[in-house]
Amino acid sequence: MDDNSVISPNFRTQVLVCRDCKADFVLTGQEQLFYFRRGLTNPVRCKECRQARRFQITNNQGGDLK
């Protein structure tokens, strides 16, 4: 399935400021569509900070799932 061609013009690449490290990061239209389709709001953190948080959350949930 390749429905990338139906990306809404509402989803344009944006440059946002990370809430954690204050670095600029790019949120592409495809990423916005990804979050929109899952009913999520756009991320407020850069990829590095999001990965760091996900890593922490995973660890805190008692990871026997390695």
Nearer Cβ to Zn ion (19/63): 19
Under the binding rule (CB under 5 A), the answer on residue 49 touching Zn ion is: yes
Under the binding rule (CB under 5 A), the answer on residue 20 touching Zn ion is: yes
**Which residues does residue 25 pair with via DSSP β-bridges, in sequence order?**
16
* Angle, vertex CA 57, rays to CA 20 and CA 15, nearest 5: 30
Amino acid at 3: D
Q: How far is the CB of 12 from Zn ion (least distance, A)?
A: 21
Question: What Rg, from alpha-carbon coordinates, does the chain have?
Answer: 14
Q: How far is the CB of 7 from Zn ion (least distance, A)?
A: 25
Under the binding rule (CB under 5 A), the answer on residue 46 touching Zn ion is: yes
